[in-house]
Amino acid sequence: MTKELSDKIDVSVGLEALWQALSKDLAVTIVKVIPNIVKDATVVEGDGGIGTVFLFNFFSGVSPVSYQKEKITELDEISHEIGLQVVEGGFLEKGFSYFKTTFQLSAMAEEKTLVKVKISFDFESEMAESVQPVKSAESVLFFVRSLETYLLNDA
């Protein structure tokens, strides 16, 4: 049975800039946003739309896994929603049979955006329960906050 965790965070970045960085430029920005975690990121399949697959390689010692492939399974330019499902490595090596992160962006003001995060997951084994999806949700919020800092200061 698929379980879900949801959270939200306000960021002081305009909707379009945040959407660009999170959807269209993800392979480029993720390495700049969390450079101590992600060693490199590449698009291994697709053109940035639904079905696009990213390969994220992590630094050893920082992550319990060496790599993770994620596929865009949802992409809605109008509602600014993107869903990334792990299709190889990463959480699937830690006992999950399904792991997906969905971001939905909503403008609150010209330079303020609400980011709703939903993590959907299913365990394949009891080992996965020890990974603590709650910690994963905290990591996603950390990434969004780091993305905000990057866009405000470096982009």
Residue showing tokens 């306000």: 10
Please state the domain extents for the chain.
Answer: 3-154
Residue 50's identity, in one-letter code, is I
Question: Six-digit token pair at 43?
Answer: 């698009």
pTM of the model: 0.91
Over range 8-13, report the average pLDDT: 97
Angle at Cα 118 formed by Cα 107 and Cα 39, nearest 5°?
90
Question: Six-digit token pair at 65?
Answer: 């896994």
Percent of the chain scored above 70 by pLDDT?
Answer: 92
Residue 89, CA atoms < 13 Å, CB-side half-sphere? 15
Over range 5-13, report the average pLDDT: 95
Query: pLDDT grade, residue 127 (50/70/90)?
Result: low
**pLDDT surpasses 70 at 130:** no
Long-range contacts of 47-53 (CB under 8 A, 24+ apart): 48/23, 48/24, 48/72, 49/75, 50/74, 50/75, 53/87
User: How is the chain split among helix, strand and coil, in percent rounded to 5?
Assistant: 30, 45, 25
Query: pLDDT grade, residue 38 (50/70/90)?
Result: very high
Residue 111's pLDDT is 96
- In sequence order, the 6+-apart residues with CB closer than 8 A to the CB of 44 are 53, 54, 55, 69
**pLDDT surpasses 80 at 134:** no
Residue 84's identity, in one-letter code, is L
For the segment 63-79, what is each residue's pLDDT rounded down to a tens digit? 778 999 999 999 999 99
Architecture of domain 3-154 in this structure: 2-Layer Sandwich (3.30)
Question: Six-digit token pair at 10?
Answer: 């306000």
Over range 99-119, report the average pLDDT: 96
**pLDDT surpasses 70 at 98:** yes
